[in-house]
Structure 1
Amino acid sequence: MASTSHLSILLFSLLLLLAATSPTTAKNPRALVLPVTKDASTLQYVTKIAQRTPLVPVKLTVDIGSRFMWVNCEQGYNSTSDRKVRCSSPICPPLRGCGGNICGLGPDNRISKTGTFGDVVTDVLAVQSTDGSNPGPIVSVRRFPFVCGTAFVSQGLASGVTGMAGLGITNLSLPAQFASAFKFPNKFAVCLSSSTNSPGVIFFGNGPYVLLPNVDVSEPLVYTPLIKNPVNTASGFLGEASADYFIGVKSIKINGKALPINKTLLAISEEGKGGTMISTVHPYTVMETSIYKAFTSTFVKQLAGVTRVAAVAPFEFCYSAKGFVSTRLGVRVPQIDLVLQSKSVVWSMFGANSMVEAREGVLCLGFVENKPHAYF
């Protein structure tokens, strides 16, 4: 399952968790919302849905670039409303398996680097609706498609998690299926927390996306186009385009100075290699080796006055927390800027995003090198 992106990024933000209400029915909500928590042991982002008849809570690890939702059907899957999808169904994609006239696809776990094959199934799925500011009634889809996984492909998932929620660029992903079922735009907003104590949220459909303290976070944002990689970046999907989301980083700056890197690595090649991929299954930003060395060399030189301490895996550059000054944006460290489609469109990262408390009293630069077979 070799990924070929040269910069894999995870965005962090503190958010409001919208509480669930009692199940009711509503046909066309403005939007939907899923709570997201960060698992302390695995650092995976975990959400929860209700599925089956009768409804039961199902915990899923969020993979923003995965093609569909899959659930382990081998252990405790009991429902009176599940139905296998026939190969002739419009739900069944063109590139799939077909045995006994049952549509089949390959559940893919990019955390444990495993994959398998399973039936495409529909069942009842219930989720929280919202007007963007307040929780609404729980709404349901009678025949929501997913793929049956196994205990084997579930290895490496957080405790209590029985599958993965795929938000990728396909017709079977959660955003596409919710948009089809509830007739709202096929779009979603993901806001994740870097803390295991602060919740995050995923909105599906129309804004506003109002968070504490009563701020619509979609209004002050600067936007950049999402780029589609024509070559797949996951296992088991030869011949298909990637379902992952990429952004067009043009250069990387530290404290306003551009790094001396090979910028061709920041673009997606004809073979689908390179580029900057958004990821929720890799807990830290992963860089191609030459970019990582230029980045860390420049960053570390500007922290020369702070006491270095022993490295804490998987990080290479760690420091005594006593040497930093705290600000409202985290500890004071060099500012990191990803320059996007123009010089005025910049993704800036400060201490709260770039430094990780690896253990008590130790802060590490939260970027890792993409060594062969280490992260992808």
Structure 2
Amino acid sequence: MILAYKDASTSLPRIHLWPNYIIDLDAPFTWNDCVERPFEDTCIEFKKGCRSPLSCSNHLCKEAHSYDPNPNCPSFNITTKYGCNICPVTTLNPVSNKCKLSQLNTYTGRLRPFGIRFVSSCAPSSLLSSLPKDVRGVAAFSWSNLAFPRQLSRVTDKFALCLTNSSGYAGVIYLGDGPFYFTPTFPNLDIRTILSYTPMIRKSSKSLGYYIKLNRISINGTPIHLPSLKSESVKLSTVVPYTTLRSDIYNALFTAFIKATKDIPRAIAESPFNLCLKASVRSVHYRFHVPNIELETESGKVWTISQDNSMERSTWNGAACLAFIDGGSRVEDAIVIGTFQMENNFLFFDLENQKLGFSSSLLARGTACSSANFTQSPQ
């Protein structure tokens, strides 16, 4: 069980280890700025900068090289210059999309209780730009065999993610199969018993991110006309703050939502959003009686996005804004579900059986991701 916090300035979820990491569902391996001073630039130039470097002949190095690097990153084919005593890799900052040549090494640190030598990339501190101030790297939670959960011993090939909506309270990540208990409403209820499941797919054999398929998107039970939706893959991301839609999908959702909320007074739109609504004088805690957005998954099960995950409170005037973003017409993925829509939703990533379990909002059940019962730990 690992605590997860929402960063107040960037909204990125981070895990509370030493060092602190943001969570990336798409990264091939974990990295942090472990270059020892005074070596500031890169581990590659001075091998003493890394504590326990792996050689290029190590099977873990070959595993890292099996994943396609970002085409905009520098090539790691530099063994002619440095020999096979190091394992060069390209390390990507998923927020800035900047990358650096770095070196794969083994690291123990606070992971020692798990009884492993953890493999991560030793990157220069210059790669931390745009990450939260107290974060020192990126934790991989992808399909990769070098991802954080898959390297830990004594756990199955499964993990659960439950992100909080407040920087003042901790969410939780579970490594393993459960059970998972939450307080206060149902202290003896195993969350697994209320989950719905849908197949979790990979776009290709080298794809590392998590994707699902949707049959339709509805607003309060009324389907939105999206003829090509079933052919699209829907990506889950912990480095995108708000769900981002290709323009044609966004416009259809936006138009349908405007129609469904025509009786609610409008407020001035606040960037990056295009629709903001005024709070009713009778609303409680700025709650809005807006319709649910329903994502019917490939399995026929519905992921319900209620107002807690569809409306972001404005910074002024007690308004709230539709928290979906127009990504443009040329985005790589037609739909990317961001962290705001994941908050207070329990997501169970079952890599072994290639399926995603989801709860919809826990708030509707009287609990939240900040209410994990730490006295009843998974077995």
TM-score class normalised by the smaller sequence: 0.7 to 0.9
For the Cα contact (< 8 Å) 2:54–2:104, is it kept in 1? yes
Q: What SS does the aligned partner of 2:146 have?
A: coil
1:301, distance to aligned residue in structure 2 (A): 1.2
- Taking the aligned partners of 1:374 and 1:43, their CA distance within structure 2 comes to 22
Of residues 299, 303, 309, the one that matches 2:267 is 309
Q: How does 1:254-265 map to 2 (within 5 A)?
A: 254-263=219-228, 265=229
Aligned position for 1:350 = 306
Which one-letter code corresponds to 1:316 in the other structure? N
Q: What SS does the aligned partner of 2:118 have?
A: strand
Give the number of equivalent residue pairs. 306
- Taking the aligned partners of 2:158 and 2:122, their CA distance within structure 1 comes to 25
Percent of pairs with identical residues: 28
1:80, distance to aligned residue in structure 2 (A): 11
Is residue 219 from structure 1 mapped to residue 193 from structure 2 by the alignment?
Answer: yes
- Taking the aligned partners of 1:229 and 1:221, their CA distance within structure 2 comes to 24
Question: Which one has the bigger helix percentage?
Answer: 2
Which one-letter code corresponds to 2:273 in the other structure? F
After superposition, the Cα gap between the structure-2 partners of 1:225 and 1:373, relative to the gap in structure 1 and judged at 3 Å, is closer
Q: Which runs of 5+ in 2 are unaligned?
A: 40-47, 66-75, 334-379
Q: What SS does the aligned partner of 1:299 have?
A: helix
For the Cα contact (< 8 Å) 1:324–1:331, is it kept in 2? no
Aligned position for 1:117 = 101
After superposition, the Cα gap between the structure-2 partners of 1:327 and 1:313, relative to the gap in structure 1 and judged at 3 Å, is closer
After superposition, the Cα gap between the structure-2 partners of 1:77 and 1:229, relative to the gap in structure 1 and judged at 3 Å, is farther
Aligned position for 2:327 = 370
For the Cα contact (< 8 Å) 1:75–1:151, is it kept in 2? no
1:336, distance to aligned residue in structure 2 (A): 0.8
Q: What SS does the aligned partner of 2:252 have?
A: helix
- Taking the aligned partners of 1:375 and 1:305, their CA distance within structure 2 comes to 36
After superposition, the Cα gap between the structure-2 partners of 1:77 and 1:170, relative to the gap in structure 1 and judged at 3 Å, is farther
After superposition, the Cα gap between the structure-2 partners of 1:77 and 1:338, relative to the gap in structure 1 and judged at 3 Å, is farther
Of residues 198, 220, 239, the one that matches 2:169 is 198
- Taking the aligned partners of 1:61 and 1:229, their CA distance within structure 2 comes to 24
After superposition, the Cα gap between the structure-2 partners of 1:104 and 1:300, relative to the gap in structure 1 and judged at 3 Å, is same
1:325, distance to aligned residue in structure 2 (A): 3.9
After superposition, the Cα gap between the structure-2 partners of 1:145 and 1:245, relative to the gap in structure 1 and judged at 3 Å, is same
- Taking the aligned partners of 2:282 and 2:256, their CA distance within structure 1 comes to 18
Which one-letter code corresponds to 2:91 in the other structure? P
1:358, distance to aligned residue in structure 2 (A): 2.2
Is residue 92 from structure 1 mapped to residue 69 from structure 2 by the alignment?
Answer: no
Q: What CA deviation, in whole Å up to 9, does each residue of 1:134-174 have, x standing for no partner? A: xxxx8144421001122332111011111111100111000
Aligned position for 1:249 = 214
For the Cα contact (< 8 Å) 2:246–2:331, is it kept in 1? no
Is residue 126 from structure 1 mapped to residue 110 from structure 2 by the alignment?
Answer: yes
- Taking the aligned partners of 2:225 and 2:144, their CA distance within structure 1 comes to 36
For the Cα contact (< 8 Å) 1:261–1:291, is it kept in 2? yes
Which one-letter code corresponds to 2:278 in the other structure? S
- Taking the aligned partners of 2:129 and 2:215, their CA distance within structure 1 comes to 37
Which one-letter code corresponds to 2:24 in the other structure? D
- Taking the aligned partners of 1:147 and 1:275, their CA distance within structure 2 comes to 30
For the Cα contact (< 8 Å) 2:265–2:277, is it kept in 1? yes
After superposition, the Cα gap between the structure-2 partners of 1:334 and 1:324, relative to the gap in structure 1 and judged at 3 Å, is farther
Aligned position for 1:70 = 31
- Taking the aligned partners of 2:215 and 2:35, their CA distance within structure 1 comes to 46
Q: What SS does the aligned partner of 1:188 have?
A: strand
For the Cα contact (< 8 Å) 1:82–1:124, is it kept in 2? no
Of residues 282, 294, 303, the one that matches 1:337 is 294
1:326, distance to aligned residue in structure 2 (A): 4.6
Question: Which one has the bigger strand percentage?
Answer: 1
After superposition, the Cα gap between the structure-2 partners of 1:327 and 1:141, relative to the gap in structure 1 and judged at 3 Å, is same
After superposition, the Cα gap between the structure-2 partners of 1:41 and 1:302, relative to the gap in structure 1 and judged at 3 Å, is same
After superposition, the Cα gap between the structure-2 partners of 1:247 and 1:163, relative to the gap in structure 1 and judged at 3 Å, is same
Is residue 282 from structure 1 mapped to residue 240 from structure 2 by the alignment?
Answer: yes
- Taking the aligned partners of 1:374 and 1:48, their CA distance within structure 2 comes to 32
Q: What CA deviation, in whole Å up to 9, does each residue of 1:325-368 have, x standing for no partner? A: 4599x53211111111243x110111111000121312000000
Which one-letter code corresponds to 1:121 in the other structure? N
1:194, distance to aligned residue in structure 2 (A): 2.0
For the Cα contact (< 8 Å) 2:104–2:121, is it kept in 1? yes
Q: What SS does the aligned partner of 1:243 have?
A: coil
- Taking the aligned partners of 1:76 and 1:142, their CA distance within structure 2 comes to 26
Is residue 35 from structure 1 mapped to residue 9 from structure 2 by the alignment?
Answer: no
Q: Which runs of 5+ in 1 are unaligned?
A: 1-32, 50-56, 128-137, 231-239, 268-273
Is residue 187 from structure 1 mapped to residue 152 from structure 2 by the alignment?
Answer: no
Is residue 60 from structure 1 mapped to residue 24 from structure 2 by the alignment?
Answer: no
1:66, distance to aligned residue in structure 2 (A): 1.5
Aligned position for 2:88 = 104
Q: What CA deviation, in whole Å up to 9, does each residue of 1:32-73 have, x standing for no partner? A: x11110011011101122xxxxxxx31111112212110013
Q: What SS does the aligned partner of 1:371 have?
A: coil
Q: What CA deviation, in whole Å up to 9, does each residue of 1:204-261 have, x standing for no partner? A: 112111222323212211111111111xxxxxxxxx6211000111110111011111
1:184, distance to aligned residue in structure 2 (A): 2.4
After superposition, the Cα gap between the structure-2 partners of 1:336 and 1:77, relative to the gap in structure 1 and judged at 3 Å, is farther
After superposition, the Cα gap between the structure-2 partners of 1:283 and 1:320, relative to the gap in structure 1 and judged at 3 Å, is same
